[in-house]
Every structure is written in structure tokens, then in C-alpha cells.
Amino acid sequence: MSNHDKDARHIVNIELYPIHDKEDPVRQALIAKCKADLQENLFCVIPDFIQPEALQLMKSEALMLRSQAHDNISKRNCYLQRSIDPSLPTDHARNHQNEASTRMVSYNLLPKNSPLKSFYHSPAVREMVAEIVGDSPLFDNEDLYQPANYVCYDNGDQSSWHFDSVNAFTMTLMVQPADNGGEFEISPNTRTDANQNYDHVADVLKGNRDDTIVSVGREPGALCLFRGCNSLHRVSPVVGDTMRIMGVFVYETEKGVIGDPEVNETIYGVNSAASI
């Protein structure tokens, strides 16, 4: 057994979720339910996935590293572009820009014994996720900054409506919710690969299609997988002094993947090209 796998046994709530035993019917039922939820709703949530003691360690670690986080503040459209297109109408979805602000604690800042690192690198966790999303096998991302992050939201911070660019799925862990606000909201299947559905996208951005929006409740320790490439999603503005803390993880479908230096510079405020 690897050290990471051993450590994950002290992080994952294995009494509820015996993820290390592929023959356990509880694990098999969990996989089946998550696959069905992901297929039908574009997201699935596993509550109480992390043991309370490990969750407290993650919270303490994130708060300790907050001062080193990159304050990622931007104005962008839902396609993650920061410039408008003058050839399009001003009310077009591609010209609808909103402010976003998060505090990014990158992977390289995490200590060697980080519980977030141990969780991410656990083969049992990675194999469970691969079965749920249908991409088997999955591999650890090998970028200096991207594999596992804490994303912190102070009062007023938010992640504006956006589509994910290339990720087939996104995996997040709620470490600490905000007292108010900071809700994860998703509008499933806002567009398709064949149809950008700009009018509908614009309606969601303008607040005219609240009937399509689902608020995904997240208690501390809940793991969430969702498909955000064709589904608009956001984190609503945080209100209050309690920081919203999320763990965010990146797995790959092939070995040896590292991030785009320009993306890293935008998200983490580093020139990763200089360190290659």
C-alpha cells in the first residue's frame, strides 16, 4: 500500500464509504448512484466524504496559507474571455462580462504532509472517480501548480457565470462554507456541442431563466463532481466574515500532463514558463 493510500484511509470516511474495497456492495452502490446522478443532473454530491478530523486539518491548512494565496480578480465573459467582440451586439452572451474574484492557494504551496495532497494522490480516490465519470484510468496532473488547490472566497468574492473550457468534469470538496451566499449554482445543459444557444445563455446571464438554475447544497466534507463544459455555473457572492474554502482537484486521462503557462499566470499569478 502506498503512503498516500494509507493516509487517505485517515481522511476519507471509510465507515460510510469503503472505497478501498472494490467488491464491497456499499462502494458499488455508491458508484452506481453517482454515475446515474451525473448522467441525469450533470452533477453528483457525496455528503460526509471526509472525516471531521481531516476536514479540520484542511481548514487550518487553508487558513495558514491564505496569506500566500494569489488574489485572482478579473472581469470576464462566461467563455472566460476578458475582451469584448465589437462585431457582436452589446447584449450578446459573448459581450456580457461580470467580475470574478477568488484567492488561489496553488499546489506548490502545500506542505508534503498536506491532507489535501494525500487525498488527491490516493489511488482509491482516483479509481473511484474514474469509475464514476467513465474515464478509466485517470492519472494525476503533473503541473507544479494545478493538481490540488484551495480556493478561498472572502466577503464579496464570487465566481461569475462561466463554462469550463476543456475539463470533462470538475471535482471539488467543501472544506468550509460561507455563513451566507457562496452558493454553487448550475444551469444544466445551457448549450450543446452542436448549438451554442446564445439566446438562452444570455437569458441565464441576465437573470431571466432562474427556472433552469439548480442550487447544489454543500455541507462541510461533501465531495462534488460536475460537468461544466456545457452547463453554466457559478459561486454566488459570499456575504460575511466566514471564508468559503473549497478543495479543487484536477485529474487527467493521460500521463504527464502539465498546465498551460498562460493559464497558470492568469490563475496563480506565476510565470510558470520560467520554471520549466
Sorted by sequence, the CB contacts under 8 Å of residue 22 that are 6+ apart come out as: 28, 127
How would you label 31-43 residue by residue, b for 16+ Cβ within 10 Å and e otherwise?
A: beebbebbeebbb
Structural domain contains residue 57: yes
Q: How many Cβ atoms are within 10 Å of 50's Cβ, its own excluded?
A: 25
Pick from 6-15, 115-124, 220-229: least confident: 6-15
Say how far apart CA 131 and CA 137 lie, in whole Å: 8
pLDDT > 90 fraction of the chain, expressed in percent and rounded: 86
Which one is predicted more confidently, 7 or 274? Answer: 7
Mean pLDDT on 93-119: 96
What CATH number should be reported for the domain holding residue 57? 2.60.120.620
Structural domain contains residue 216: yes
pTM above 0.85, yes or no: yes
Say how far apart CA 1 and CA 10 lie, in whole Å: 14
Structural domain contains residue 112: yes
Total structural domains in the chain? 1
Q: What domain range is 125 assigned to? A: 3-270
- 16-44, pLDDT tens digit by residue? 999 999 999 999 999 999 999 999 999 99
Preceding peptide of 47 cis, ω within 30°: no
Residue 79's pLDDT is what? 93
Q: How many Cβ atoms are within 10 Å of 168's Cβ, its own excluded?
A: 14
